[in-house]
Structure 1
Amino acid sequence: MEQFFRLKEMNTTVRTEVVAGITTFLTMVYIVIVNPAILSSAGVPFEQVFMATIIAAVVGTLYMAFFANYPIAIAPGMGMNAYFASVVATQGVSYQVVFGTVFLSGLIFILLSFTKLRETLIESIPSALKYGITSGIGLFIAFIGLKMTGIVVPNPATMVAFGDLHEPVTLLSLTGLFITLILMARKLNGALFIGMVITAIIGLFTGFLKFEGIVSAPPVPVVFDLDLAGVFTHGLYTVVFAFLLVTIFDTTGTMIGVAEQAGLMKGNHFPRAKSALMADAVASTVGASLGTSPTSAYIESSAGVAAGGRTGLTSVVVAVLFIISMFFSPAISAISSLPAITGPVLIIVGCFMMEGLTRIDWKTFDEAFPAFVIMLSMPLTSSIATGIAIGFVTYPLMKLVSGKGREVHPILYFFGILFAIQMAFFPAH
């Protein structure tokens, strides 16, 4: 094992890697609760999402461990699960059709991993759009968290308004949010997970959380519960592209960030990048075939790196702990059904995703406005795809009229025209 993962060469030990793996797992295990909570709201059976979430995480993380030898964990990504639910709600299609879009985007991601097109796509899209997309998703999922918990409520006059603090679940949600924020401020490893546990304990003593069991045999996975034909029947090409684009940006950025933190980058070169990206692509495809939204590399992996993780052995430990969590589906089902436990996580993760705003040149209007309009449109239209489309139309147009048209890559003009036609003649309803 030491030779396979090159522990001595990476100046680490088995004990250090195990501790790092446990640390990473504790910081990201919330996804096992939050993902089923979000996707079950779109009609997907809880047990199906629960097993698909864990299996996708195990497949992607083990692939990362054995083929790329990185301490980076893979699991269904936050933001994409919320977008999945919104597509089911707004497009009038079944969740099986949306799983078809996830499966297709995963296959395209796998194919792109064998070509230079992936690098070309990443390099051609300007930072303003990349960071605008990530930040827009952050606002989108934070807004969903606020709605779930009743902190904001519908209002005919103003669209939304502040919720009623006399509502017990809203009060419990705010309590859980502030507890978790305190833990985050104290930089406690696993703060999100520990905050959920404390909130669950409060919910248990106040009667809002009821357990019908703690441990049971893992639910039987449902295989290929997806509808590929429906993707083409309903013309959900923009949705496929949205899943693909966000997954590529999110995964690539996270992997490079964690690799830099661990000192694994060789200058600007990301060693074994193809294998690392393939881990995410394979996990997304497997996850879609079983019943979950696209996967992504988890920035929480940085907690494990901070604890000393440097090799794929850290990822193996994470995968083993995910497998163990399969046996706790009754407890996780009860916890995920209480919005006060899962909602605060969405709000805080939304904040994490705003980090890229500092990298946008806000003093240059033709850079700033496309990013701004992406962030504005995603939560207000409840559609990540719409936000991406508006950004891709606005950016090249503004550069063109500013006399900076040559700064824009031809791919952006192509997608800008494509999205303009789609929004004008084939709008999503």
Structure 2
Amino acid sequence: MKKWFELEQRGSSVSTELIAGFTTFLTMAYAVIVIPAVLSSTGMDFNGAFLATGLTIIVATLIMGIFANYPIVIGPGLGLNAYLAYSVVSGSGHSWQTALGAVCLSGILFFLISLTPLRSILLEAIPASLKHAITAGIGLFVCFIGLQSAKVVVASPATLVTLGKLSEPTALLSCIGLILSLVLMVYRVKAALIVGMLITGILAYWQGMLVLPEHSLVVPNGLEKTLLQLDLSSIWQQGLYSVVFTFLLITLFDTTGTLLGIAEQAHILKDGRLPRARGAFLADATGTVIGSLLGTSPTATYIESGSGVAAGGRTGLTAVTVAALMTLTLFFAPWAKVLSTIPAVTAPPLIIVGFFMMNSLRHIDWQNIEEAFPAFLIMATMPLTYSIATGIGLGFIVYPLLKLLRGKYGEVHPILYLFMALFVFQMTLQSH
């Protein structure tokens, strides 16, 4: 084991890696409740989505840990999870089977791109300001969904949205749960989000809002309701090219940025480059394809992996430990399902994750309107149009347009002009 994971070369030990894996698991365990809860809003069976999410985390993380040997966890991402459920399915009226088909196709494309230099070309073609804006815009979108779920923000015939009645049970308990989670985070409790969810669940039970499950432990079941249910043919029939592109683009940015950030934190970068980077990208791409076949949203590199690195994790043994703990979690599906039915339990993590994603805004030059306004447009329109794809499209149109009008067309990569033309076609000539 020491030889396979290169423990001595990286200055680590088995005990340190196990502790790091346990730490990472505690910080990201909330995802296995929140993600199936969001997916079930599309009509998907909760047990199937829960098992698909857990299995995807296990498989993708094992690939990352064993073959890439990095202390990094991969699983369905919360931002793309919300986009799939609330924009592609609920917002645009597509079936969840069609959405899974788009996920699968984006994963296959990501896999192929990871085998070629095209991945680097795409990353270099997109301006940094737009990349940061996409991340922040998804954060606002996820936060908006959390506030709606909590009934803190409600519909209004006069102003479209307004403040909800905070004395209403769901809104009040959501606010209490949010404050609890924030206090735990301020005190640097590793499992702040999952502990906050559990305490909120106890309060919900005390208020008569939560019914305890009949069985605490069950053999994992329900996967047959989501397994191989994806619909690829409808992608062409319904013209979901922008959806596939959005899944692909965000997965590409998220994986690259998070991987490099955590690798730098773990001191495993060499001359600013990531060794075995291809294996790491292929792990994410494989996870997305497998997840779509099982019945869950696109995978992403979990930023919570940084907590395990902070605890001393330096090798893939940390990731393998997380996968082992996630395997045990699959037997607690009844508890996950009960907690997922209470919006006050799942809304605070959505709001807090949205906050974390806003951190990238500090990298944007707000004094340069050519860079800043397209970024602002992306962030503003994602939640307001309830579509991540629309936000990206508007930003990718306005950015090169401003550069052209300023006579700086040479500063824009040719690929971005191609994206601009495609989005103009998508938004003006094709039916939405």
Residue identity opposite 1:44 in structure 2: M
- Describe the superposition over 1:163-207 as per-residue Cα deviations: whole angstroms up to 9, x where unpaired: 101211111100000000111111111111111111111112221
**Which residue of the other structure, out of 381, 389, 412, is the alignment partner of 2:393?**
389
Residue identity opposite 2:172 in structure 1: L
Distance of 2:267 and 2:376 partners within structure 1: 34
TM-score, normalization: structure 2? 0.98
Residue identity opposite 2:65 in structure 1: A
Of 323-332 and 212-221, deviating more is 212-221
1:153 is aligned to 2:159: no
Match in the other structure for 1:229: 233
Kindly indicate whether the alpha-carbon contact (under 8 Å) linking 1:366 and 1:402 is maintained by their aligned counterparts in 2: no
1:345 is aligned to 2:346: no
Residue identity opposite 2:6 in structure 1: R
Match in the other structure for 1:116: 117
1:73 is aligned to 2:77: no
Kindly indicate whether the alpha-carbon contact (under 8 Å) linking 1:17 and 1:310 is maintained by their aligned counterparts in 2: yes
TM-score, normalization: structure 1? 0.99
Distance of 2:206 and 2:321 partners within structure 1: 33
1:414 is aligned to 2:414: no
Residue identity opposite 1:24 in structure 2: T
Distance of 2:298 and 2:399 partners within structure 1: 27
Aligned pairs for 1:32-43 within 5 A:
32-43=32-43
Match in the other structure for 2:50: 50
- Describe the superposition over 1:198-240 as per-residue Cα deviations: whole angstroms up to 9, x where unpaired: 1111112221111223211101423211100011110100000
Of 90-99 and 111-120, deviating more is 90-99
Distance of 1:248 and 1:93 partners within structure 2: 24
Residue identity opposite 2:412 in structure 1: V
Of 273-282 and 400-409, deviating more is 400-409
Shift of residue 89, structure 1, vs aligned partner: 1.2
Match in the other structure for 2:191: 190
Match in the other structure for 1:219: 221
Match in the other structure for 1:376: 380
Of 211-220 and 258-267, deviating more is 211-220
Identity %: 53
Aligned to 2:2, the other structure's residue is in SS state coil
Kindly indicate whether the alpha-carbon contact (under 8 Å) linking 1:218 and 1:327 is maintained by their aligned counterparts in 2: yes
Residue identity opposite 1:214 in structure 2: S
Gaps (5+ residues) in structure 2? none
Shift of residue 91, structure 1, vs aligned partner: 2.0
Distance of 2:384 and 2:118 partners within structure 1: 32
Distance of 1:185 and 1:402 partners within structure 2: 46
1:91 is aligned to 2:92: yes
Aligned pairs for 1:119-158 within 5 A:
119-158=120-159
Aligned to 2:322, the other structure's residue is in SS state helix
Residue identity opposite 1:94 in structure 2: S
Kindly indicate whether the alpha-carbon contact (under 8 Å) linking 1:149 and 1:343 is maintained by their aligned counterparts in 2: yes
Kindly indicate whether the alpha-carbon contact (under 8 Å) linking 2:255 and 2:281 is maintained by their aligned counterparts in 1: yes
Distance of 1:115 and 1:413 partners within structure 2: 22
Distance of 1:266 and 1:10 partners within structure 2: 13
1:241 is aligned to 2:245: yes
1:354 is aligned to 2:355: no
1:26 is aligned to 2:30: no
Residue identity opposite 1:338 in structure 2: I
Kindly indicate whether the alpha-carbon contact (under 8 Å) linking 1:173 and 1:340 is maintained by their aligned counterparts in 2: yes
Aligned to 1:226, the other structure's residue is in SS state coil
Gaps (5+ residues) in structure 1? none
Distance of 2:220 and 2:236 partners within structure 1: 34
Match in the other structure for 2:332: 328
Of 138-147 and 218-227, deviating more is 218-227
Residue identity opposite 1:408 in structure 2: V
